[in-house]
Amino acid sequence: MSERFNYEPERETYSAARVKALESLLIEKGIISSDTLDKVLDFFETDFGPFNGAKLVAKAWVDPEFKTRLLADTPGAIAELDFPRGMTGAEGEYMELVENTPTVHNLIVCTLCSCYPWSMLGLPPYWYKDPTFRARAVREPRKVLQEFGLELDESVEIRVWDSSAQIRWFVLPERPAGTENLSESELATLITPEAMMGVAKVEAPAS
Ligand code: FE
C-alpha cells in the first residue's frame, strides 16, 4: 500500500455500507426523510460541482480581461457569471485562484482538515482529507505530484497553498497546446477537478 493512502483498499466499499446504514437509521427514526437526502445529492450533482470551476477556467482562458479580474478578486469575478445562488455560503466564500505558468506550478491542500472550494470543485476526494497527503503535500510536494503521475521539470517552482476557513485556494491550470480551435464550452469539458487542485495538468483531446 502506498504511503499516500493509509486506508484499507476496501475503504470505499466500507464507507458506502456505513453511509447506507446511517441513512436507513436516520430515516427510520424520522430525523430526515429520503426527500431530504435526494435534495442534498441533487444539489451536488447540479449546483455545486467541478463543472462550475471548469466553466470559470475556460472563460479565463478565452477572455484575458475576465482572467485578470478573476485573479485579482476571485469571488467578485465569480459573481459576474450566472451561477446558481451566486455561489456564496457553504464553503463558497473567500475563494482565491492561483495561476499555473510554465515556471510556477500550484498545489492546494488543507493541512488542518479539508477546506476546499465546494461551490467550484464539488466535494473533495477522500485522499484530500488523508492526514498523510496533507502532511506530505507540504513536506515533499514534488514527490507527491510524481506519485499522482505529474512529473515537473526541476526548474518549475512548486507553490503549495494551505486552505483554511479564511481562504479556499484553487488552481487556474495552463491551457494545453492544440486547443486553439476549441470553443469555451468545449474547453470546459477538458478541465478536471484534479487540474484545479494542482495534482494534474489539463490534457488536450486526443486527435
Ligand atoms: Fe480544512
Distance 166 CA to ligand 1 centre (A): 10
Going from the Cα of 44 to the center of ligand 1, the distance in angstroms, rounded, reads 19
Between the alpha carbon of residue 206 and those of residues 38, 146, 197, 201, 203, the distances in Å are: 37, 23, 23, 15, 8
Instruction: Please report, for residues 53, 55, 75, 192, the alpha-carbon distance to residue 81 in angstroms, rounded to integers and kept in the order given.
Output: 11, 9, 10, 20
Q: Specify if 203 maps to a domain.
A: no
The CATH number given to whatever domain includes residue 111 is: 3.90.330.10
pLDDT at 1: 36
What gap in Å lies between CA 54 and CA 196, rounded to an integer?
8
2 classed as catalytic = no
Q: Which residues contact 138 (CB under 8 A, 6 or more apart)?
A: 109, 111, 160, 162
87 and 135 together in one domain = yes
**Do 192 and 128 fall into the same domain?**
yes
Number of domains in the chain: 2
**Which member of 113, 119, 155, 163 is catalytic?**
113
Q: Tell me which residue of 103, 66, 98 sits closest to 81, measured CA to CA.
A: 66
* C-alpha of residue 128 to centroid of ligand 1, in Å: 10
Residues 24 and 106 in one domain: no
Catalytic, 115? Answer yes
pLDDT of residue 88: 56
Residues 28 and 65 grouped into a single domain: no
* Phi-psi label, residue 94: left if phi above 0, alpha if psi -120 to 50, beta otherwise: left
Total residues found in the chain within this entry: 207
Please indicate, yes or no, if residue 204 is contained in any of the structural domains.
no
Distance (angstroms) between ligand 1 centre and the Cα of 64 equals 31
- 55/133 same-domain check: yes
- Quote the pLDDT of residue 2: 46
Q: What pLDDT does residue 92 have?
A: 57
Does 18 lie in the same domain as 63?
Answer: no
Three-class SS of residue 41?
helix
pLDDT tens digits for the chain (207 residues)?
345 556 677 777 888 899 899 999 999 999 988 888 888 888 888 888 899 999 999 999 999 999 999 999 998 898 888 787 656 555 556 889 999 999 999 999 999 999 999 889 988 988 899 899 999 999 999 999 999 999 999 999 999 999 988 899 999 999 999 999 999 999 999 999 999 999 999 999 986
Active-site residue flag, 110: yes
Cα 30 to ligand 1 centroid, rounded to whole Å: 31
Q: Which domain holds residue 42?
A: 7-46
Residue 123 belongs to a domain = yes
Task: Report the SS3 class of residue 54.
Answer: helix
In-domain check, residue 2: no
Residue 108, domain member (yes or no): yes
- The reply to whether 135 and 40 lie within a common domain is no
Are 143 and 58 part of one and the same domain? yes
